[in-house]
Structure 1
Amino acid sequence: MTGAAESGRLALIAGRGGLPAALVAALPQPPLVAALEGFVPDAVAVDHVFRVERLAPFLRLLQDEGVTRVVFAGAVTRPRLDPALFDPATAQLVPVLLAALQGGDDATLRAVIGIFEDHGFAVQGVADLAPALLPGEGVLCGAPTEADARDADRAAAIVAALGAVDVGQGAVVAQGLCLAVEALPGTDAMLDWVAQTARRPNPAGAKGVFYKAPKPGQDRRIDLPALGVETLHRAAAAGLAGVAFQAGGVILLDPAAMVAEAGRLGLFLWARP
C-alpha cells in the first residue's frame, strides 16, 4: 500500500516490555496507542484497550480515528478467548485465527498482519519507522576474540535451526558448546539458567557469547527480537564475554545506553553480519 497509507495517521499496537516506549520516543509524531486487554504497557499512555473477541469493532474504531498505518511493538502471549464475547463480524474471523494459532507463533502473526491489511491498513515495522534502533554491521563496544567469533558462528547456526521450527531467537555458546537455547520462558530465563547452572569445559577458556537473531523467513514487520540494558546485566551475571546479534535484524531499546553499559560491564556488543 502506498501514498496516503504511508503518511497517514499511525497506530501503535503495543504490548509489554520496553519496546513501545522506545518506539514512541523515536517517532517524529506521537501515534495513537492501543493495547490488548491484559498486556497494557507500563511506560506509554494508552488511548484504547481492546479484546480479540471484539477485533472487528476495534478495527472500525481505528478507521474512524483516521488511522491508515499500524505498527506492532511489545510482548503479547496468546490470550484466552471467551466465546460469549464475540460479535458477529469478529466471529467470521475465528476460523482464520484458530487455524493460525494451531500453526505456531509465526503463522499467528502472519494471520494478524493479513487481517489488518484486509481492512485497509498498511502494516509497518520498527525498521521502517525507527531504523536507528536496529544497528548495522559493526562492533559497538569491546573487542570479540577469535574464540568469541567461533562461538558466535556456532550460536548463529543454532538460532537459525531453532527459528526454522519456530522455537526461539537466541542461544548461548561457550567453547563451541551450546549452554542454553531460548524457548517459551524467554531470554531472561535462559541467561539466568546459564548464570546458575552452566559450566564451561575449560574454566580458563572462552567465556561464551549470547547471540540473538530473527527467525529465518519471518515477516520482519512484527516480532523482531529486542535487547535492552537488562539483557547486558544478565549476560554479565552469566559470566559471558559479550552479546552478538544479527545486524539490522535486532532492536536495541536504547543503543547509546547499551553501548555505555556494555563498556562498564566489560562486555563486547557486536552487530554481526
Structure 2
Amino acid sequence: MTRTAIIAGSGALPQLLAAQLDAPVYVTLDATPVPEGIAHVSARIEKLGRLFKDLKALDVTSVAFAGAMARPKVNPVLMDRHAMRLAVSLTKGDDALLREVLEIFTDQGFSIKSAVDICPKLVLSQGTVWGAKPSKQDDKDAARAQEVLSALSPLDVGQGAVCAGGMMLGIETLQGTDSMLAYVAATPDHLRRAKGVFVKAPKHTQDMRIDMPTIGPDTIDAVIKAGLAGLVIPAEKVIVLDRASVKSRVEEAGIFLKAL
C-alpha cells in the first residue's frame, strides 16, 4: 500500500483533504490540531531528514501541502543538511521558498499532489456565476484589477486586488486578503466611484501544487463588510472552501461571485 501525507497548515483544508484519502498520514510542524484516528507525524523544519525517514517508513510516496503556513522560525544550530538547503531561500520571496521546498521533497522521491488532485470539487468551472448579475462597470473593474495583478505578478507581491470605478482601492501584500479588505472597508464613500470588485488570482509564477489561492465563507463576509459588489476568480485556479456556505452567503447578500 502506498500512502499520501498531508503537510498540514492551519485552516479547514488539511482535514478536508485527509478525509478524501485512504490511510493518509498527517504531518504537523506546530500545534495544528490532528484529526482523530489518523496516522500522525510531528516534525521540525530543522530536521527534514528525520521527517523523510518517518514518511518512508509509513510507505508514503506522495505529499500534499495544505492550509496556511507562516514562514518558519528556525534554529540554525539544529538544522540538518536537508534543512540547510532552505536557509538561503528563507530570505527570498514566497515563490522562491516554495520552489525550494518542492525540490527538496521531489529529490527524496516523493511526488507532489495538489489539493485539487485529491478533491477536484474544490474549484469552480468556467462560467459559474452565483448571486447577482455583474454590471458592465463591475466587469470593467474586475478586468482592471486583474490587469494590475498581472503586472505585479513577476514581483511576487500578492494574489488579490480591489478596483472601484476604475480606481484601485487595495492591493494584497504580506498582510493578506483579510487585511486588504478591512482597509477597503475603511475607505470613505466619497473616494469610491462605484461599489467595486475584489479579484483573487494566482501569480503567473505560482506553483499550483503547493500554493493555490483560497477563498471561503470568511472571505465573503469580508467582501460584504467592504461594501463591494462582488468578487471574481479564475476558473479552476482558486480553491473555494465550504462552497455551499459561500454560495448561500453570496446570494443572501445580493452580491456576486464569478468564475472566468
TM bucket normalised to smaller: over 0.9
149, 154, 162: which is aligned to 2:152?
Answer: 162
Q: Counterpart of 2:163? A: 173
CA contact (8 A) 2:63 2:111 kept: yes
SS at match of 2:186: helix
| Cα distance in 1, alignment partners of residues 11 and 190 from structure 2 | 31
CA RMSD of superposed structures (Å): 1.8
Q: Counterpart of 1:59? A: 52
User: For residues 123-171 of structure 1, what are the alpha-carbon distances to aligned partners after superposition, in whole Å with 9 as ceiling and x for unaligned?
Assistant: 1111211111011212331211111000000111111222221110000
196, 203, 207: which is aligned to 1:208?
Answer: 196
74, 82, 97: which is aligned to 2:75?
Answer: 82
2, 5, 14: which is aligned to 2:8?
Answer: 14
Question: Compared with structure 1, are the counterparts of its residues 99 and 37 closer, same or farther at alpha carbon in structure 2 (3 Å cutoff)?
Answer: same
SS at match of 2:128: strand
| Cα distance in 1, alignment partners of residues 238 and 34 from structure 2 | 21
| Cα distance in 2, alignment partners of residues 168 and 113 from structure 1 | 20
Deviation of 1:256 after TM superposition, in Å, equals 1.9
Q: Counterpart of 1:145? A: 135
Q: Counterpart of 2:224? A: 236
1:61 partner amino acid: D
| Cα distance in 1, alignment partners of residues 76 and 191 from structure 2 | 53
Deviation of 1:180 after TM superposition, in Å, equals 0.4
Deviation of 1:37 after TM superposition, in Å, equals 2.1
Question: Compared with structure 1, are the counterparts of its residues 228 and 119 closer, same or farther at alpha carbon in structure 2 (3 Å cutoff)?
Answer: same
Whether 2:62 is the aligned partner of 1:72: answer no
Deviation of 1:217 after TM superposition, in Å, equals 2.5
Whether 2:234 is the aligned partner of 1:259: answer no
Q: Counterpart of 1:135? A: 124
1:110 partner amino acid: R
| Cα distance in 1, alignment partners of residues 243 and 72 from structure 2 | 31
User: For residues 43-101 of structure 1, what are the alpha-carbon distances to aligned partners after superposition, in whole Å with 9 as ceiling and x for unaligned?
Assistant: 74571221111111011100000100100001111122112323xxx23541x212222
CA contact (8 A) 1:175 1:200 kept: no
Whether 2:78 is the aligned partner of 1:91: answer no
1:264 partner amino acid: E
1:128 partner amino acid: D
SS at match of 2:86: helix
1:224 partner amino acid: M
SS at match of 1:108: helix
SS at match of 1:102: coil
Q: Counterpart of 1:270? A: 258
TM-score for the superposition, normalised by structure 1: 0.88
Question: Compared with structure 1, are the counterparts of its residues 107 and 132 closer, same or farther at alpha carbon in structure 2 (3 Å cutoff)?
Answer: same
| Cα distance in 1, alignment partners of residues 184 and 191 from structure 2 | 14
Gaps of 5+ in 2: none
Whether 2:114 is the aligned partner of 1:121: answer no
Q: Counterpart of 1:24? A: 18
TM-score for the superposition, normalised by structure 2: 0.93
| Cα distance in 2, alignment partners of residues 113 and 198 from structure 1 | 43
Deviation of 1:254 after TM superposition, in Å, equals 1.3
CA contact (8 A) 1:174 1:200 kept: no
User: For residues 103-139 of structure 1, what are the alpha-carbon distances to aligned partners after superposition, in whole Å with 9 as ceiling and x for unaligned?
Assistant: 3111110110111111110011112111110112123
SS at match of 2:77: helix
| Cα distance in 2, alignment partners of residues 200 and 69 from structure 1 | 52
Deviation of 1:172 after TM superposition, in Å, equals 0.7
Q: Counterpart of 1:195? A: 185
CA contact (8 A) 1:139 1:268 kept: no
Identity of aligned residues (%): 41
